[in-house]
Amino acid sequence: MSSSTSSGADEEHIQKFDQVLQQFYQIVEAIDEPEPDQPRPRRRPIKKAYIRRDREAGALRLYEDYFAENPVYTDAIFRSRFRMCRPLFLRIVDKVQSDPYFQQQEDATGRPGFTPLQKCTIAIRMLANGGAADQYDEYLRIAESTSLDCMRRFCAVVIQRFGTEYLRRPTPADYQRLMAMHEAKHGFPGMLGSLDCMHWAWKNCPVA
């Protein structure tokens, strides 16, 4: 008698638990799915904070540091930071700025945009030093997204302007000229594409 009574009580508890569980599922579905007559509330778009970077000051500082008549930094410092000499950089800027993107333009408010020197500097410094896109923001006043855009456009324009002249396979005459330049500068013949110099006698070569 007691066993039948306990089993009946257990079944009653199980039925009550199932009812509560079904009610819980109904509440969750009602929360997740709004009524058809009530449209979903629109989320407010997240607005990015506007930072007035004063790009004019960045352009002036860059010019005075590297491109003025008496620049702050010497040619040796320029070469170590840009991985090229100043005349070569200016030649690249002159060719690249024929593209409309690298020409200085005004924004919607009438303020002058970035100069060709700023755009080419951020692209070459990123490529030469492997820096992050926002690494030179404090100095050149260029945001991360603009820096990445400059680098992509710069690479495309350089390929377009210099591809046929420099981005090609070297000819046998190029090989001979490069090896002659290497021997004239270092005093021994070199090997293109390899650091192996075992053909050159080295008095300090370790022996077993």
pTM comes to: 0.61
Nearest-Å Rg of the Cα atoms of the chain is 34
Residue-wise pLDDT for 117-152, tens only, equals 999 999 999 988 888 888 888 888 888 888 899 999
As given in the structure block, the two tokens for residue 122 are 């951020």
Domain boundaries, the chain: 55-166
**187 vs 158, higher pLDDT:** 158
Instruction: Let me know how long the chain is.
Output: 208
- Tell me how far apart the alpha carbons of residues 137 and 132 are, in angstroms, rounded to a whole number: 10
Residue-wise pLDDT for 9-48, tens only, equals 667 767 777 777 777 677 766 655 555 565 666 777 666 6
- Tell me how far apart the alpha carbons of residues 116 and 189 are, in angstroms, rounded to a whole number: 41
As given in the structure block, the two tokens for residue 78 are 């320029």
As given in the structure block, the two tokens for residue 124 are 């070459």
**Strand partners of residue 106:** 112
Instruction: Write the DSSP string, 46-111.
Output: PPPPP----HHHHHHHHIIIIISSS-SS-HHHHHHHHSS-HHHHHHHHHHHTTSGGGS--B-TTS-
> What confidence category does residue 186 fall into, taking pLDDT thresholds of 50, 70 and 90?
confident
Q: Which of 119, 102, 114, 134 is nearest to 55 (CA)?
A: 114
Decide: helix, strand or coil at residue 201.
coil
Contact 82, 124 (CB under 8 A): yes
Decide: helix, strand or coil at residue 112.
strand
